[in-house]
Structure 1
C-alpha cells in the first residue's frame, strides 16, 4: 500500500457481503482492520482507536451511516480521521452533503477504490508530521517505570530516546507532560520500530510509539501543541 508502518482501517457497512468485498480489496500485510461496534459505541471506539481511515457504506434502507459520517466530521476530538463514503449513485446528493473526505460509488472497482484509499492514507501521514522537541516521558517496561525524553513528537506518536527497547508491537503505559502544561497526559503506546545507533534521528538509540487509548481532551491538547510548534519550528538544544 506504500509505506512500512501499519495502518488501521475501520470498516462500517450494514451489508455483510459488501463488507467482505471491501476487506478483500484492502487486505495487505500492513493493514489492520478495527472492529466497528454499532450505535453510540462507534464514536467511542473511534476516539479510542484513532484509525488512519474510516470507511462507511450507506444504504437507502439505513440512513444511519450518513448521520455517523456527519457526527465524525463535526467532532473536534476526531479531527484528522479521513472518512471514505461508499454509496450507490441513487444516493449521490445525500452522500455529497455528508462532509466525507471522499466518495466512491458501488459496485466497487478495485483499482479506483484502492487509489482513493491510498490518497486518504497519504493525507493522514502528512498530518502526522513530527516536531523535534524534548519532552519528559515515562514508560513501563518489564514492570519497571523508566523516565526518558522524546526525540520528536507528533499528533499520533513520538520517538523516545532509550537503551531499553521494548519489542515491536508491545503495548506500554506512557506518561508525559507538555511544556507549559501542568496537566499530565496518560495513555498507551504501541511500539513501532526500535532503532540501534545511527538509525534514529541524529543517530539516537530508542524506539517509536504510536499513541493509543488517549482520552479526547488530552488528544486535543496534544494536537494543539504540535500544530502550534510546527508553525514555528525550533531546533533541539
Structure 2
C-alpha cells in the first residue's frame, strides 16, 4: 500500500525541520523544497497528496507556484495550503485568487498544522510521543459506560482498543487509574482524533480502536500524566 506523500515548501530550513517534526509519527512520506521552482518540478514529477507552501520565497514565490499548479489540469486537484504572515490579508487574498485550498498562519502551531493535514489525509497522526501500556479505561458513549484498554498513552492522549463504532471528532468522557504512588483516578475529556476500522487501518500495527486527544485537561492531570510517563520510561 502506497503511503501518502506531503510536500513542504519553505526557504527557511528551520521551518522545514519543524514541520517535518510535526509529521514524524505519521504514516506519510515527507519531501521538501526550498522555493517555488523546486516545488513545481517535484509536483510535476510525482504529484503529492498535499502541499504546505510558504508565500514569500526566492526564485518563485508561493503565490506564483500555486497559480501554476492550479492552472494545470493534471495537477489542479492537489490540495495546496498556503502559509501566510499573521494579519497579512493581502497575501491571503492573492493566495485565494491563485486557487489555494486553505491557509495557515505563521508561526505555525503544531495542532493547527496537523488538524489541517488531517483534513486532507487520515494518515496524519496528531499524537505526541506515547508509551506502550495496558490500562483499563471506561468511557461514556451515548450515556452508557463502555470498557476498553489503552494500549499506549501520552500527555497528549491515548489509543483505545475497542470494537465500538465511534466516529472521528466524537467527544468522550474517560476514567482511568494510573499506577503511581497516589494511584489517582483520572476523569478526562477527550476527542476522537482518528479511527482504526476493520479493512481501513490508519495504523497497521494497532488493532481496531481509536486515538483520543485530551481536551483541556487540568494542570494537575497533565502533571500526573507526565509523572506516570516519566516513571514508565525509567
Instruction: Give the TM interval when normalised to the shorter protein.
Output: 0.3 to 0.5
Q: Which of the pair is proportionally richer in helix?
A: 1
Q: TM-score, normalised by structure 1?
A: 0.45
* Structure with bigger gyration radius: 2
Q: TM-score, normalised by structure 2?
A: 0.45
Q: Which of the pair is proportionally richer in strand?
A: 2
